[in-house]
Structure 1
Amino acid sequence: MTLDIAAGTQLRFAEYFTEIPSEPETRATLIESWFPARELSQLIAKDRRVRDPAYAAHRWWARRPPALLRALLIASVLPPGVSAQEFWRRYASEEHHLAGKTVYDPFMGGGSTLVEAQRLGASVMGSDVDPMSVRIVKSELAPVDGNELREYGKLLLAHLHSELSWLYPSEPDAEPLHYFSIAEVQCPSCSATGPLYRNLVLVRDPKKAGAVVRDHAITAFCPVCSKLHNLKSAHRKEIRCCGKRFKITQGTFRSGAYHCPSCDVASTHRELKTGAARRRVLAVEETQENGRRRLRAPNNEDEAEQLQAVREWEAQRPHLPHPEGEIRATRSDERPRSYGVNKYEELFTPRQLLVLGHALKWIRDNVQADDFRRALELAISNALATNNRLCGYATDYGRLSALFSVRGYSLPALTVELNPLHETAGRGTIAACIERVAKSDTGEIRRHIWDAQTEQPRPNLFSFLRKNQPFWVELKNATSASDAEALEKIDVAIFDPPYFDFIAYDELSEFHRAWFGELDLAGDPLLPRSEEPVESFGLQLGQCLSEMVNRARGSNPFAFTYHSANPDAWRAVGVALDFAGLVVTKLWPIRSDGHMGHHSNPGNCEWDVVVVCRPKAGTAAQEFSDEVSLWVSNMKPLEVNAADIRNFNFAIDMARSRFAKVF
């Protein structure tokens, strides 16, 4: 069935849906009667700092907690009446509880559902419109041998050092790690050029656990001559230089705007085109033989090598892989174009382009095995986020802050260029990124399980053994008709569809895809259209759900996670369920995003609602008795904010007219 959603089109379920015959017998499952939402919310909070090697190989921007997905998968196949004790036994065990089942995720994104299903012994199928998603998930489901990948990595790094170590000139007793710089911008009002900075602090030693130990409490710079000042006391408020006093906490960029020192007119990054502005290198941070770091002023050799890098890149550019294409002007997020950056190549320095281009060329010329070539390319792709012009610095901890740390093209006032060839320090070096991919072949993961005796989470070491289960992962629009020969029947579908109040992840992944010639998606992302947003989003999602109904085997329900404090978002979910002929058999609140700082701001949802649904055949309409007050009470001592109260109310309102129970 092909669906054309034109502006103003009003489509209804009765016009387009032909009821799918049900299985001879419809049976309820555990998730439709019981689910440990409160306990899982606590497990999710405990797991938030646990790094799972499978997911650490490459960044993805929207991952549901693995603990939630594991629980949903188990509860979706168990019959009602299974005890809480038995559920938690299965959750904590390494047995293949989904052996013989096929699990499908049509919006696989970073692949968490498929990885958790594979660990439970299922065969898995997944699709996404984004080529970067396909690259990441294939690597997660079939990781290469880590030790062999490390050997390839040694050869790659040896090649890069032999060809490009001159880009990062070293002292006899120290090696450069970070290059600090600020933008020199021109005021649109008076045309005066001046430095853009938030404050004068480059690094600080806060005496905190995990922070870099330094020889000085603070290192600050003079905004006039760039001289470095090493301050012994953390309580110093100012520096003296160039015949003036400067408060180290004050800068020219405050309250989201640059304040011109000459005319005091405030200008935004859009007006300044800061991303395209000339940058002034302030300092080079080096690692020393004694393990300490030091900052020094840039010297003539540093400047000469940067100029040589510009010439080398111009000469070698035609022969090296590099990001191609312009950044689309029609975007939901106007950045980074609003910074004055119009091409993806402009997001990288000539040094970075040389190193990354040489790395990809060596991989393509010297690694014949497809799986190892893809694994190394994935490592270089991940290194892009820490080797570009938009990287910042965690001043108190001494760590580079990668692009997309907060899901967007942010532009730090103090930017840092990493030496990607450094082998012993630095976040996001090529060696570190290769190691992250190499570690993804481990089956040992330390996560939390629920201790029924103490009624508290406790750590547990899982050893997940791979059975080499078959998997199908392809670039595919979830709304397109299934290829019956390529896609088999499915037993379980657990997924996280795009949200109505969306973040356009394809605009973020495009930063990576530009290096691989994969700018085109497999179809339009599932987003509301400006005309009839509720209807357009709901009908597209409904068509995806219909695809799952057509391929469902047996009578297990579907389950997906969703949240929004916007009533239109939940109305769109209702449109989707009606189009696919599905009823709601249960809703479960689950706290999944509270640990993320940018989700914790007032007005943002921290709780998901798990929507459990199934075809109407074999069910009977029933009154929905849950109330928001009951949900909130059952979740204590966990807190629910005002945005999630609205989120819960809208979810329940959507479900009331669509609620049913299995016969």
Structure 2
Amino acid sequence: MTRRLKLIEHSIPLEAINAACEEEKQIKVGKHTSIHQWFAPRPLASNRAVIYAQYVDDPSAWPDRFPTPEEQQKERRRLHKIIEDMVEWPKSTPADRKRFDLAIEAARVEIARSVAWGLGEAPPARAKDVVAYLQAKAPPVYDPFCGGGSIPLEAQRLGLRAYGSDLNPVAVLITKALIEFPPKFAGRPPVHPGVAKDLAGREWRGAEGLAEDVRRYGQWMRDEAEKRIGHLYPKARLPNGRAAGSARDAGGNDGSEAVVIAWLWARTVSSPDPAQRGAHVPLASSFVLSSKAGREAIVKPVLDLSAPGGWRFEVKAEGVTAEELGEATKGTKTARGSNFQCVLSGSPITGDHVKSEGQAGRVSQRLMAVVAEGKRGRSYLSPTSQHEQSADVARPVVPELEQPLPDDPRNFWTVQYGLSRWADLFTPRQLTALTTFSDLVETARDRALEDARASRAFTGHPDPDRRLADAGTGPAAYADAVATYLALCVDRLVQCQTSLNRWFAQGQKIQPTFDQHNIPMRWDYAEGNLFSSSTGSWDAAFKYPAMALERWGSELPGNVRQEAAQDDGEKIFNVAIVTDPPYYDNIGYADLSDFFYVWLRRSLKSLHSDLFRRLVTPKGEELVATPYRHGSKSAAERFFIDGIAKSFYILKDRTADMPITIYYAFKQSEVQEGGLLSPGWASFLSSLIGSNLQFDATWPVRTEHSSRSIGQGTNALASSVVLVCRSRPDDAPASTRREFLRELRPAMRQAILDHQTAGVPLPDRRQAAIGPGIGIFSKYSLVRETDGSEMRVATALALVNREIDGILAEGTEAFDPETRFALDWYDLHRTRPVAGGAGSAIAMLQGFNLSEARINASGIFRARGGDAKLLTRDEMLAADPKWRPSRDGSPTVWEMAQHLARAFLSTEGGTDAAGRLLAERRGAAPDVLLLAERLYELTAAKEPDEALVWNQLQTAWPEIERAADRAEAAGVAPPPVQPAML
């Protein structure tokens, strides 16, 4: 049978998909991830688009229906438009929801059409029959590394059968909670007795009834917990008026009581100064409580011989000066890591001293401040003995939390300071509260069971006692489901109830434990009030998951099981594989997920005994290159390569006649010297090629905020590359380096041209071109080097990148000579001053037919006194503060690009400012964009901040051009000035 090309193997509307992904990243409420956190989730928009494009045939697959290239391209545009419509975030207004539903319906129709044509059938005539047809005839989506479940969730939305599996039990439970449990109880009303009274006559669709019960029993848990432990969370007495310590403009500070939002603590160790006789002093990374303009507040350590240790904390929330705020940001830290200063004597506290005190169990803590909910915002109060004593409770013993933390200093920073067990990450009050809520899960389950048995919703159910873990759908299974979601809510609460939560002074709120994918060490931390309504409260922990369940719960069945992808277990054939596997060594999923697992096990081991039979999550089979686990970096890499290869060797034989799509979290920081790529990217591709897969396409889907500020490092350039693969024939021939190179360049040139025609944005064309390039390499059984050895994947990647460099750089020879000189000089010296470099500059200038006087007059370069320097953007502006293209008789492409970037990045400028500059020299736009691409290529490997500048400029280019249109229409742009740009 002739292979039918799928849309994803030809083109997808990347610009629209990436814009939707970035919009989705900004959404905070109502996302599916509210049910439970998982690591590095892919945006739903990208999953939706990838699945759709993987199922829908490219028009060229049907030459009898679309015989000409023009007709095929017209049809592609129509199919792309469906993607553009359906990737938008589903907003809550009726009109928006209707538009989104219609877009999803159109996508389902197109998938059904491709499936039917492939089977030689007519597609369903009626839209209402499409889902039933897809459930019966379309290959199901299978994600063997399902993680947080976002891929099978989107498969359900598109009307497809959804399967998932994962080695990690936390991932399996999350995915079950998303796609498997809700359909079992779809359309059922809640069983809580209060619902009939409060919401009589309401129609319950999807998982709305189940979500309402989660709310009701979650509220019961809160009320019951407050009876048991509410006394541990006292209110705070607000000061009268604007006495010292009150918040600015607190207005309502009349001496009344207010709910505490958080208690802010600092860890303490004994002073190493012998004169202080072992007095404990604070370790604090910051003393800033609020940095919000107009509401600044700080805490200061004050020497007081009557206080414990000879000092106490005092809050200042009125009249904080800029100097005081700046000093407070330093806390007691003197350097990176665990280096501090003694507040009593000023003597240094070394990291070794802190570590030895921590490992000996001699680190303590002192309350710094109390944050209360005033009538006009946050009130910051100095600590009192009442609030210190309220936290002084006996530490409960929680057997599940006695497991040791991994000895992995890269990801677990607390172990070296004596916090070496999971229990050590919590204060005694937090452990008391969390165990209380964990215990209440089982009690809530009993209440839900009693109510379900009494409810008419389950009257006459044929198997009322079958449990959820045994595929039950009756009262017992329903009570298990309610308890499962409540346990996931407890796990959500755990994230904001550790001694590793930091206080975010700008936003005046608690930040969760996982800022990044590691367990950090916090010296000052925030302990939230579970009975408030702020971050860290039970209200937030159970209401947001209920909202997500209500919104995302499907009526279509899903199936999830625990299984390692490399195990040849229960086989599912004729599937479409869409997956997001582990990324080499980026994230230690199993180790980090134990943070959640130990609490889930405590709450759910009797309900989901198969998932929680172990003390911790399985580690040995996890496909992550973790050196500490495998003894060395090379052994870890070999384990990863072999495991991924084995997994996809097994999986490729289960696929239907369609490509496999695989996400990889590629970062530009993975590019190394000499054009070779890091072990992560190269090893991953080696694994896939070793499993007899060949590549058809690579699509870069940006999954990070485009608004990330300059200076955040190489991760700011992260994106997910979607790899599109097919099985390589068993009789694939071998090739040679010469043949590979001869075939490579014309194929790459055509691929880049196709991407340009398809509207792939310029910043994405490099990564999009990798697929066709490595596809040539991977279609052969092997490629031999000139010495007869087998070419490595890393070498092939370097050759592919070299060809991409050459093709994308074509056109720079038409730049003005100043710009071509600046490019070459920048490649050699960047903007560093070159002592004695004037001679080299003069020699280089001759090659561009330029003189020293002309390059000095250009405004981009300075050769003086024997030294030479290419000017930075700021230096160019300082040299000519009023520079504009219309004032410069012969502006260079280099000047245009640098000034556009400066205007775009400035706080008072942005897109409109860049657009006004461009409007004055509109004909320069193609050259400026090409130079931005070249500068991005030159900086991506070692200058991530500068690379981000050019990446952002390219990404925003359509908006800049629209801003230029507006400037021209408004008459802001002056008429062209002659002579034209050289």
TM-score by length of 1: 0.80
Q: Match for 2:49 among 55, 64, 71?
A: 71
Shift of 1:157: 0.8
Separation in 2, partners of 1:629, 1:532: 38
Please give the per-residue CA displacement for 1:262-281, whole angstroms capped at 9, x wherever unaligned.
Answer: 43354266455399721110
Q: CA deviation at 1:392?
A: 0.4
The residue number in structure 2 matching 1:89 is 82
| Alignment match, 2:692 | 581
Shift of 1:629: 8.1
Say yes or no: does 1:356 pair with 2:356: no
Alignment of structure 1 residues 464-483 onto 2, 5 Å: 466=554, 468-483=555-570
- The answer to whether the aligner puts 1:372 opposite 2:372 as a matched pair is no
Tell me which moved more, 522-531 or 351-360.
522-531
Q: 1:357 to 1:538 in 2, by over 3 A?
A: same
How far did residue 223 of structure 1 move? 4.7
Find the aligned partners of 2:769 and 2:76 in 1 and give their Cα distance: 30
1:30 aligns with 2:38: no
Corresponding position of 1:200: 287
Aligned equivalents of 1:336, 1:167: Cα separation in 2: 27
Distance 1:202 1:134, change over 3 A: same
Task: Output the CA distance in 1 between the equivalents of 2:727 and 2:47.
Answer: 22
Distance (Å, rounded) in 1 between the aligned partners of 2:732 and 2:574: 24
> Aligned equivalents of 1:189 and 1:557: distance in 2?
67
Q: How big is the shift at 1:229?
A: 3.9
Structure 2: runs of 5 or more not aligned: 60-74, 87-102, 112-133, 183-206, 237-255, 304-310, 447-478, 602-611, 671-676, 734-739, 781-982
Query: Paired residue for 1:433?
Result: 541
The 3-state SS of whatever aligns with 2:369 is: strand
1:299 equivalent to 2:384? Answer: yes
- Segment of structure 1 superposing worse, 611-620 or 128-137: 611-620
1:465–1:413 distance in 2 versus 1, CA, 3 Å: closer
Q: Distance in 2 between matches of 1:496 and 1:541?
A: 12
**3-state SS of paired residue (1:160):** helix
Q: Does 1:626 align with 2:748?
A: yes
C-alpha contact 1:201 1:218 (8 A) present in aligned 2: yes
Q: What are the superposed Cα offsets for residues 299-329 of structure 1, whole Å, 9 maximum, x if unpaired?
A: 232233323x22xx44xx4xx7752312133
1:333 maps to 2:417: no
For 1:378 and 1:442, locate their aligned partners in 2 and report how far apart those are by CA, in whole Å: 15
- Per the alignment, residue 146 of structure 1 pairs with 211
**2:481 and 2:264 mapped to 1: Cα distance?**
37
CA distance in 1, matches of 2:481, 2:553: 20
Given that 1:188 and 1:272 are in contact with CA atoms closer than 8 Å, whether structure 2 keeps it comes out as no
Q: Which of the residues 403, 410, 414 maps onto 2:524?
A: 414
1:122 and 2:207 correspond: no
Q: Is 1:658 aligned with 2:778?
A: yes
Query: C-alpha distance in 2, partners of 1:499/1:229?
Result: 45
1:61 is matched with 39
Q: CA deviation at 1:70?
A: 0.7
* Closer, same or farther: CA 442–490 of 1 in aligned 2, 3 Å: farther
Residues 149 and 276 of structure 1: is their aligned pair in 2 closer, same or farther, counting only changes over 3 Å?
Answer: farther
- In the alignment, is the contact (CA less than 8 A) between 1:38 and 1:590 conserved in 2? no
Paired with 1:347 and 1:586, the residues of 2 have a C-alpha distance of 45
Are the counterparts in 2 of residues 593 and 599 from structure 1 also a CA contact under 8 Å? Answer: no
Higher relative contact order (CA 8 A, sep 6+): 1
The AA in structure 1 aligned to 2:379 is R
Q: 2:365 aligns with which of 279, 287, 292?
A: 279
The CA distance in 2 between the partners of 1:637 and 1:389, in whole Å, is 45
Partner of residue 557 from structure 1, selected from 659, 679, 702: 659
The residue correspondences of 1:171-250 to structure 2 (distance < 5 A) are 171=236, 173-186=257-270, 193-206=280-293, 216-224=295-303, 225-238=311-324, 247-250=327-330
Looking at structure 1, the residues matched to 712 and 634 of structure 2 have their Cα atoms a distance apart, in angstroms, of 30
CA contact (8 A) 1:282 1:298 kept: yes
The amino acid that maps onto 1:499 is Y
Q: Distance in 2 between matches of 1:472 and 1:174?
A: 48
Deviates further, 631-640 or 377-386 = 631-640
* TM-superposed deviation, 1:579: 3.2
Deviation at 1:598, TM superposition (A): 10
SS in 2 for 1:70: helix
Higher strand share: 1
Contact 2:35 2:549 in 1 (8 A): no
Aligned-partner residue type, residue 340 of structure 2: H
SS at match of 2:339: strand
The partner residue of 1:548 within 627, 651, 660 is 651
> What is the DSSP-based 3-state SS (H/G/I as helix, E as strand, rest coil) of the residue aligned with 2:419?
coil
Q: Aligned equivalents of 2:154 and 2:596: distance in 1?
A: 25
d(CA) in 2 for partners of 1:278, 1:651: 55
Cα distance change, pair 570–659 in 1 and its aligned pair in 2 (3 A): farther
Residue of structure 2 in register with 1:391 after alignment: 501
- Maintained 8 Å contact 1:385/1:402: yes
1:515 to 592, 599, 604: 599
- Offset, 1:599: 11
User: Cα RMSD over matched residues?
Assistant: 3.3
Q: Which has the higher helix share?
A: 2
Which residue, 150, 155, 158 being the options, matches 1:112?
A: 150
How far does the alpha carbon of each residue in 1:72-110 deviate from its partner, in whole angstroms, 9 at most, with x for none? 100001111242223332552122456333101111111
Q: Is the 8 A contact 2:487 2:600 kept in 1?
A: no
Question: Secondary structure of the residue that 2:483 maps to in structure 1?
Answer: helix
1:80 aligns with 2:58: yes
Question: Structure 1 residues 266, 330: CA separation in 2 closer, same or farther (over 3 Å shift)?
Answer: closer
Looking at structure 2, the residues matched to 349 and 150 of structure 1 have their Cα atoms a distance apart, in angstroms, of: 28
Deviation at 1:122, TM superposition (A): 1.2
**Aligned residue number for residue 451 of structure 1:** none
User: How far did residue 415 of structure 1 move?
Assistant: 0.7
Distance 1:60 1:181, change over 3 A: same
Does residue 1:260 correspond to 2:341, yes or no?
A: yes
Q: Structure 2 CA distance, aligned partners of 1:28 and 1:632?
A: 16
For residues 491 and 557 of structure 2, the distance between their equivalents in structure 1, rounded to whole angstroms, comes to 26
Amino acid at match of 2:540: A
The residue type equivalent to 2:339 in the other structure is Y
CA pair 294-577 structure 1, distance change in 2 beyond 3 A: closer
1:567 offset after TM fit, Å?
3.6
Distance (whole Å) between structure 1 residues aligned to residue 645 and residue 431 of structure 2: 43
Residue in structure 1 matched with residue 639 of structure 2 by the alignment: 536
**Cα offset, 1:181, TM superposition:** 1.0
2:683 to 569, 572, 578: 572
Could you say if the C-alpha distance between residues 111 and 252 of structure 1 is closer, same or farther in structure 2, counting changes exceeding 3 Å?
A: same
Contact 1:179 1:281 (8 Å CA) reproduced: yes
Decide whether the 8 Å contact of 1:535 with 1:575 is kept in 2. Answer: no
Q: How far off is 1:509 after superposition?
A: 1.1
Give the TM-score normalised by the residue count of structure 2.
Answer: 0.55
Compared with structure 1, are the counterparts of its residues 156 and 39 closer, same or farther at alpha carbon in structure 2 (3 Å cutoff)? Answer: same
Instruction: Show the counterpart of 2:20.
Output: 43
How big is the shift at 1:631? Answer: 10
Aligned counterpart, 1:505 = 589
CA shift, 1:526, in A, is: 0.5
Residue of structure 1 in register with 2:423 after alignment: 345
1:154-169 superposed matches below 5 A: 154-169=219-234
Name the % identity. Answer: 21
The structure with more radius of gyration: 2
Deviations 1:360-407, CA, capped at 9 Å, x for gaps:
111113314110010000000011010010000111211101100222
Specify whether residues 494 and 304 from structure 1 end up closer, same or farther in structure 2 by C-alpha distance, changes over 3 A only: same
Contact 1:482 1:547 survives alignment (8 Å): no
